[in-house]
């Protein structure tokens, strides 16, 4: 049976349009027929996509994470408006990396599971952020082979690394194997970052955070990202990056920024603290920190990030919507998600006029 949803403006992944959204058999239809369900204003847009999800539902991605845990996280984030996620393992042991890759392969067919994001361990300890410096290390041939094999078996694999911890040949090999290579947690200069992009890196992780900053004579990784990175993730909670800096990024890199939550285990829960390895993480006033005040991920959902972009940064709604739908899809080189096209899967969300989440549909079935 076909259902047509009206009363909300549709963002289809490319543009805003009037006329409603028709769904039949779990897919977007190109004709209007059947019963009509009227929504109370706001917007309908493709299911949101988050490429940096460290946890949710009380579980942090770790070496103990199972395929069932990954499926649970997908369900938790679905109810937060995100119908596709990359569960993210931050810097850990080789054994933990191997275990998470195996769990990801087992979870490959789980609805909402887009693949994995490995943030480390091949980073620069000078820009460690909340990562454990004792686990940061250069990439070995064994690491390289494990990642290349993982990319073949997973829907997508995104790896955050610092150019200081790898070689150009390793970046090229990862890119050739299908890995989305992202630069982050790096103190590198402009020339080093540009060489990494030339070798095959195609993204920058959480722009401005845990990286060398833009200087007048040495633009650093931040400057390289704004002038040369194909894609840049952005934590738009108003805490990690000031709205003024986000406006500068929007002007410098139009069409290349996408939103990430960088959320942790508390996502979807009311817990106020948890542990990261052996360290205590506090949840206070919309932020997550180590006990010394160092930011440790974010207490953020993508609908909240969209609202920040529109209300505090001044982005047009359709630009903010693209940053959570079609742009992350393009970063993963996926044309089957991030859009509402006739014949495509009907994963979509309803945001109210105030950008709060009003409803979530997967394959045409309402799940929230």
CA dist., res. 202 & res. 210, Å (int): 18
Note the Cα 210 to chain centre separation in Å: 16
The DSSP result for 157-190, as a single string, is EEEEE-GGGS-HHHHHHHHHTT-EEEE-SB---H
Confirm if 359 and 349 have CB atoms less than 8 A apart: yes
Q: How far is CA 341 from CA 4, 46, 51, 344, in A?
A: 14, 10, 22, 5
Q: Which residues contact 49 (CB under 8 A, 6 or more apart)?
A: 82, 83, 84, 85, 114, 324, 325, 328, 329, 337, 338
Q: Which residues contact 293 (CB under 8 A, 6 or more apart)?
A: none
Q: Which residues contact 256 (CB under 8 A, 6 or more apart)?
A: 229, 230, 231, 232, 327
Q: Reply yes or no on whether 12 is catalytic.
A: no
Burial class from Cβ neighbours inside 10 Å (0-12, 13-18, 19+) for residue 142 reads exposed
Active-site pick, 132, 143, 262, 347: 262
- CA diameter of the chain: 62
Active-site residues, by number, are 262
């Amino acid at each position: 049976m076909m259902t047509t949803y009206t009363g909300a403006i549709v963002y289809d992944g490319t543009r805003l349009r009037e006329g409603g959204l028709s769904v039949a058999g779990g897919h977007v239809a190109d004709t209007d027929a059947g019963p009509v369900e009227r929504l109370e204003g706001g917007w309908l847009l493709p299911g949101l996509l988050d490429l940096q999800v460290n946890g949710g539902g009380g579980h942090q991605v770790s070496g103990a994470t199972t395929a069932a845990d990954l499926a649970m996280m997908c369900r938790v984030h679905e109810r937060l408006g995100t119908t596709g996620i990359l569960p993210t393992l931050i810097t850990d042991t080789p054994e933990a990396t191997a275990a998470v890759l195996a769990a990801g392969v087992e979870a490959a067919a789980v609805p909402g599971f887009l693949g994995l994001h490995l943030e480390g361990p091949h980073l620069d300890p000078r820009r460690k952020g909340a990562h454990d410096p004792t686990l940061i290390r250069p990439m070995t041939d064994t690491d390289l082979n494990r990642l290349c094999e993982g990319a073949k078996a997973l829907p997508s694999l995104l790896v955050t690394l610092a150019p200081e911890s790898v070689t150009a040949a390793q970046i090229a090999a990862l890119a050739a194997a299908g890995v989305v290579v992202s630069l982050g947690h790096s103190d590198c200069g402009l020339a080093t970052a540009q060489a990494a992009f030339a070798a095959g890196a195609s993204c920058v992780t959480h722009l401005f955070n845990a990286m060398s900053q833009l200087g007048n004579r040495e633009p650093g990784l931040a400057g390289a990202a704004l002038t040369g990175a194909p894609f840049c993730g952005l934590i738009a909670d108003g805490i990690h990056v000031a709205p003024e800096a986000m406006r500068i990024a929007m002007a410098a890199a139009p069409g290349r920024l996408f939103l990430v939550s960088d959320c942790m285990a508390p996502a979807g829960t009311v817990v106020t603290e948890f542990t990261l390895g052996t360290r205590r993480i506090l949840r206070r006033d919309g932020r997550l920190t180590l006990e010394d005040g160092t930011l440790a991920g974010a207490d953020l959902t993508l609908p909240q990030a969209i609202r920040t972009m529109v209300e505090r940064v001044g982005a047009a709604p359709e630009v903010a919507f693209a940053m959570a739908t079609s742009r992350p899809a393009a970063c993963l080189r996926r044309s089957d998600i991030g859009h509402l096209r006739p014949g495509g899967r009907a994963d979509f969300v309803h945001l109210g006029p105030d950008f709060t989440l009003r409803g979530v549909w997967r394959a045409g079935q309402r799940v929230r």
